[in-house]
Homo-oligomer: A and B are copies of this chain.
Amino acid sequence: MRATCILLCFFTFLVASSAHPGKKKQYKPCKELVLYFHDIIYNGQNAANATSAIVAAPEGANLTILASQFHFGNIAVFDDPITLDNNLHSPPVGRAQGMYIYDTKNTFTALLGFSFVLNSTDHHGTINFMGADPTTLKTRDISVVGGTGDFFMHRGIATIATDAYEGDVYFRLRVDIKFYDCW
């Protein structure tokens, strides 16, 4: 009976820990990826190199002009190369494709919605992201809401940092993807 009691405790622990693996800070990712992506914004002169463009803006809609100094309401669409290190000229392992929407009047904050489309010897599949990006903070956490291929059904948290930028044209983002739900 004592053995089964110990067993009981053990399984209670096991079941509990699989459903609720402890407090927030104790979670360990089941998979982790650190990747960089490179956003070169179209400025009218760099069509060959540009990887993103502003496609909607209050001015464009001819309906509203509101707080344009913080780009409020601008929607940018991007198709950025992803690299394993912070070098724009490293061989890309995939593309970051999606949009950001500047959504604050008095500072720089964006809503992000995008996919990583990975196609390398190490990784083949897509990772889908969504979340708020208060771009002036050193790091920002967004949600990994799903994945396909090697990332089938995965969920997790991506921590984004602005690794470097040049004026309004080049932004390099470091993304530390921690999956907590692997299949």
Contact = CB atoms under 8 A, between A and B. Distances in A.
A4 interface: yes
Given A66-B53, A115-B132, A183-B24, A152 B157 contact: yes
A170 interface: no
Contacts of A27: 152-153, 183
Interface in A100-153: 101-105, 109, 111, 113-115, 117, 126, 128, 130-132, 134, 141-150, 152-153
Interface in A1-48: 1, 3-4, 7-8, 10-12, 14-15, 18-21, 24, 27, 42, 44, 47
Interface of A: 1, 3-4, 7-8, 10-12, 14-15, 18-21, 24, 27, 42, 44, 47, 50-51, 53-64, 66-67, 72-75, 77-79, 95, 97-99, 101-105, 109, 111, 113-115, 117, 126, 128, 130-132, 134, 141-150, 152-153, 155-157, 180-183
21 contacts: A20-B183, A54-B58, A55-B58, A56-B75, A60-B63, A72-B77, A72-B79, A79-B104, A79-B105, A111-B114, A113-B113, A115-B130, A128-B142, A128-B145, A130-B130, A131-B148, A142-B148, A143-B145, A143-B146, A153-B156, A180-B183
